[in-house]
Structure 1
Amino acid sequence: MIIVGAGLGGLALAHGLRSNGIDVALYERDAHPDARPQGYRIQLDEPGLAGLEHCLPPTLFQLCLATTGTPPARVSVRDRHLRVLADKAALSGSGAGNAAGPRAFNRPTLRQVMLSGLRDHVHYGARLSAYQYEADGTVTARFADGRTASADLLVGADGVNSAVRRLLLPDAPVHDAGLRLVYGKIPFKRNSRSDIPDWVFENIFTVVTGGPGHPHLGLGPVEFSDRPDRAGLAHTPPVALSPVGDYVACMVGAPADHPSMPSFEQLRGLTHAGLRDVALRVLGADWHEDVHRLLGLWDTDSLFPLRISTAAPVPAWDSGPVTLIGDAIHAMSPVLAMGANTAIRDASELTRALSTAARTGEPLKDAVRTYESRMTDYAFSIVADSQRTGRQRVGQR
C-alpha cells in the first residue's frame, strides 16, 4: 500500500496495516519530520484512543500513554470576564486499554513515538504530482522529483491541502472557516506553575470567548506523568524522544474580518514578536487581567499562525484503488478537538476493512467501499457539529 502523508493518521494506518501483514510505504512532502511547525497539544478522546490502540503495537501504545498528561476530563467555556458559560465532561474512553481518557498529548512527541519502527518506510521530500490507474487494477503514484511507486491501493493522508483529494475529487470543497489563530505555548519554568491561574488547570481545555464574531482564547495544559525522553529510554527497546517540559498550549483566535486581524498572508510574514502584538491588539484591554497575565507568559518564539478550514459533505463517489483519510477528506474546525481523533479512527476503520479483505479474499474495491461508507457517515456528522459549535462560540462561518 502507498500512503501519501506521514501525519498522525498516515502513521497510525501504516502501523495498523503492517501489524496485519500488509506492506506499506509512506511518502511525505516535507523534507524531514521537523520541517515545519505542526502544533503542540492535541487531545485524544475515545475514538482516537481506541483507534490508536487498534493500530499500534501494544508496547508503542503504552509508550504513547506514558508520554501524555491527564488533566481533569472537563471542558469549560468562559466569557472575557471569566464567568463560566458552560462546563461539561469531555468524552470519556470506553475500552481503549487502560486509557480511561481523555488524554493531552504533545503532538511532536506522539509523532516521534509513531515514527519508531517506521523510519525505513517513510520517504521524505516526495510531493505527489499525479497518479494513474493501471490495467491490472493497481495504481501508480508520480512525485515531483521523478520518483514513482505502484501498489494495490493509494491512501491520501496528506491533510487539508491534499493533493490526492484534488486529483480524486476535484469538486470536493474545503472552505475557509473565517478564523485565524496565533498558536503557541506557555512553558513551565522553575516555580512558574504558580504564576498560572488555578482555573487553567481545572479542565482539559478552556475557551474564553468574547462571543460569536469576537476574539477568543484557548488554553490546554499538558503536564506529563514522566518526561517523554525518560519514558522513551525506559521503553524496551529504547525510543529516542526529544525532551520537553510541561506547558500550557495557548492560542488567540479571531474572525478573519476582525479590524485588528491582518490577512493570513500578512500573518505568515510577521515575526514571532509581531504575532504576539497582533494577539494583544485583538483581545483588547477589557479582558480579565488573568488573560493578559497569561499572554505575558507566552513563549514568543513558539508562536505561529493558523488558518482554519472546514470541508463540505461529499456525495458518494466510485470506490477504487485510491481513497482518503483524515483532513484530506473531512477537515474540521478544532472547537470540538475531534480532528486528530477522527483521522486516527479512519486509520483504524480502514485497517479493519483491508485486513478483513486480505483474510477472506473479499475484493479490495468492496473493502474500500465499506470503509468509505462508514467514514463519510460518522465524519461529516462531526464536521457539522464542529461547525455549529464554532458558530455559537467563536463566530466560525
Structure 2
Amino acid sequence: MTFTKPVLISGGGIASLLLASTLRRSNIPFIVYERDASPIFRAQGYRLRLSNEGLDAIEKALPPEKWETFWATCGKTGGSGLVTIDPLTGETLSQGPDAASRPNTGPREVLSSRDGKVVGISRGDMRKVFMEGIEDSIRWGHHVRSYELTADGVRAIFADGSESEDGCLLVGGEGIYSYVAKQLSGGKLKVYDLGSRGIHGQAPTAAFKGLGEGVFRLVDEKTVPGHKIFLITNVRPQDMDDPNVQFGWTMGGSPGVVKAPNNNYTLIGKPAADIAKSLTENWHPRFKPLFEQMNESEAAFWKITCSSPDGVPEWTNEPRVTVIGDAVHSMTPAGGIGANTAVRDSELLGRLLAEAGEFRDGITEAYEKEMRVYASEAVKTSFNQSVGAFGTNIDLNATIEPRDV
C-alpha cells in the first residue's frame, strides 16, 4: 500500500470501527476520532439482529481470526419466526409482520440468517470485538465539528478549535448528529424525529424463563387508549443457565406514550427504569420478572428517527470526504435493518480503498453510487415497517440538527 496519509474517521460506532478494522487488515493507516471520553462512557443500546447481508459484510471485512472471535460472541437463537404475544393476557397471538392484528394465518416473518438460527449481538459486544487490535489508533475525547480541505488532503476540526493532522480522506461515521454529513451534503442529508420513544433494559437470564427460546414481540394496545406499547426480546437457550449473562429487551410506544422527565432523553438509569415499570404494571405475571429484576443502572431512553424515506439524496461528490452508517442513512428499529446496512458501508468503502492501493479520486464517488442503491431501499423498507408496527409518521419540520451531546 502507498497511502502516505491516514484515513481520518469521525466517530467510534460500529460502522467506524469495522471500517478501521478493515483498513488495519489492508495495512492502510487510519485514525479514529471519538467524542466520548472512553468506550464505556455511554449506554451501548439494544441487541442487534444480523441478516445474511450484514454477516457477509462483517466476515469479508474482518481478518479471519477476528471474524472467528466475532462469530463466537454472537448469540444463536433457534426458530425463524417472530412470536407475537398479548402481554396483558399472556396469550400467544401469531407470527409474521402484522401478527398483532391478524389471526394465525399467513406467512411467517423469517428472522434466521445462518444455520437456521437468529443471529444477534449486543452493540457493546460488537464494538468491543471490532475495537480489538486497533486501540492504538483511536483518539478519545475528540469531537469533530467540521472539516477543511488542504492542498492535497483534508483535516478534521474539533469542537475546541484544534485540528487533526492531514489525512487523505475523512469518513463521517458519527451517527445522526453528524456535522460532517451536514457540511458535505450542504444540508441535503436530513434526519427526522418520528415522535416515538422507547426504553432499553436488561435483566438476568432467570427473568426470561417464562418465555422460552425465541424472538418475542409483545404488543399492548389497551394500557394507553389509542396508542401502542411494544416490547421485543431475544431468548437464547445456550445462555439461559448462566447467572453472569443478562438478556436485553427494548420497549417503545407510539408518539406520546414514553415521556422522559423534562423531555431529557439523555437520562439513563432509574428514571427510565421507573417509566418502564409504570407502563407494564398491569402486564401478565409471565412478563413481570423482566421489569422487577431489571438492572436499573442500564436502562436508557431512545428515540425513533429516520432519514428521508425518499432515499439517500445526491450531493456534489467531494473526493476526500464521505459518510457511512447512520450519518448518511438513519433508520427506525423496524426490521433490524439499520446496523446491517451500516456494516455494508464499511465493507464496501474499505474494499474500494484496498483495491485502489492508494488514495485516488473516484473512490468516494464509486462508494456513494453503490451505497445509494441498497441504502435507499433499506431506508424505505424501515420507514414503512415502522409506520405499521409503531404508529410513527414523518413531520418534515421535525428535523434533528447536529449537536455536541
TM over 0.5: yes
Q: Describe the superposition over 1:39-82 as per-residue Cα deviations: whole angstroms up to 9, x where unpaired.
A: 24222221221111111111011011111211124323334443
Counterpart contact for 1:168–1:322, Cα < 8 Å: yes
Q: SS in structure 2 opposite 1:70?
A: strand
Q: 1:150 to 1:62 in 2, by over 3 A?
A: same
CA distance in 1 between counterparts of 2:243 and 2:26 reads 33
Q: 1:76 aligns with which of 56, 61, 83?
A: 83
Q: Describe the superposition over 1:1-51 as per-residue Cα deviations: whole angstroms up to 9, x where unpaired.
A: 111111111111111122223211111111111111122422222122111
Q: Describe the superposition over 1:186-233 as per-residue Cα deviations: whole angstroms up to 9, x where unpaired.
A: 112xxx26x62134x2x2x32212358411111123566799xxxxxx
Residue type of the alignment partner of 1:84: L
CA distance in 2 between counterparts of 1:206 and 1:264 reads 29
CA distance in 1 between counterparts of 2:243 and 2:126 reads 12
Residue type of the alignment partner of 2:219: T
Q: 1:182 aligns with which of 191, 196, 199?
A: 199
Q: 1:307 to 1:89 in 2, by over 3 A?
A: closer
**Is 1:279 matched with 2:276?**
yes
Q: SS in structure 2 opposite 1:290?
A: coil
Following superposition, the deviation at residue 270 of structure 1 comes to 6.0
Q: SS in structure 1 opposite 2:166?
A: strand
Structural mapping, 1:191-270, within 5 Å = 192=206, 196-199=209-212, 201=213, 203=214, 205-210=215-220, 213-222=227-236, 245-258=244-257, 261-263=258-260, 265-268=262-265
Q: 1:167 aligns with which of 165, 183, 195?
A: 183
Following superposition, the deviation at residue 118 of structure 1 comes to 0.2
Q: 1:264 to 1:372 in 2, by over 3 A?
A: farther
Following superposition, the deviation at residue 280 of structure 1 comes to 3.2
Counterpart contact for 1:213–1:394, Cα < 8 Å: no
CA distance in 2 between counterparts of 1:245 and 1:101 reads 23
Counting matched residue pairs gives 364
CA distance in 2 between counterparts of 1:225 and 1:90 reads 22
Q: In structure 1, what is the equivalent of residue 317 of structure 2?
A: 319
Q: 2:110 aligns with which of 90, 99, 108?
A: 90
TM-score (structure 1 length as normaliser): 0.83
CA distance in 1 between counterparts of 2:301 and 2:196 reads 11
Q: What is the aligned-residue RMSD (CA, Å)?
A: 2.6
Q: 1:76 to 1:264 in 2, by over 3 A?
A: farther
Counterpart contact for 2:312–2:329, Cα < 8 Å: no
56-65 vs 348-357, greater mean Cα deviation: 348-357
Residue type of the alignment partner of 2:332: S
Residue type of the alignment partner of 1:393: A
Structural mapping, 1:63-142, within 5 Å = 63-72=69-78, 73-80=80-87, 81=89, 82-87=91-96, 88=108, 90-93=110-113, 102-136=118-152, 138-142=153-157
Counterpart contact for 2:46–2:250, Cα < 8 Å: no
Following superposition, the deviation at residue 120 of structure 1 comes to 0.6
Residue type of the alignment partner of 1:317: W
Q: In structure 2, what is the equivalent of residue 337 of structure 1?
A: 336
Counterpart contact for 1:41–1:222, Cα < 8 Å: no
Counterpart contact for 2:255–2:392, Cα < 8 Å: no
**Is 1:43 matched with 2:53?**
no
Q: Point out where structure 2 has 5 or more consecutive residues left out of the alignment.
A: 1-6, 97-107, 394-405
Counterpart contact for 1:222–1:247, Cα < 8 Å: no
CA distance in 2 between counterparts of 1:226 and 1:16 reads 34
CA distance in 2 between counterparts of 1:9 and 1:101 reads 24
Following superposition, the deviation at residue 295 of structure 1 comes to 2.2
Q: In structure 2, what is the equivalent of residue 367 of structure 1?
A: 363
Q: Describe the superposition over 1:302-361 as per-residue Cα deviations: whole angstroms up to 9, x where unpaired.
A: 211111211113321122211111011101011211221111111011112222222xx7
Counterpart contact for 1:223–1:247, Cα < 8 Å: no
Q: In structure 1, what is the equivalent of residue 172 of structure 2?
A: 156
CA distance in 2 between counterparts of 1:265 and 1:129 reads 27
CA distance in 2 between counterparts of 1:76 and 1:366 reads 46
Q: 1:225 to 1:53 in 2, by over 3 A?
A: farther
Q: 1:380 to 1:135 in 2, by over 3 A?
A: same
325-334 vs 268-277, greater mean Cα deviation: 268-277
Q: 1:91 to 1:349 in 2, by over 3 A?
A: farther
Q: In structure 2, what is the equivalent of residue 382 of structure 1?
A: 378
More helix by share: 1
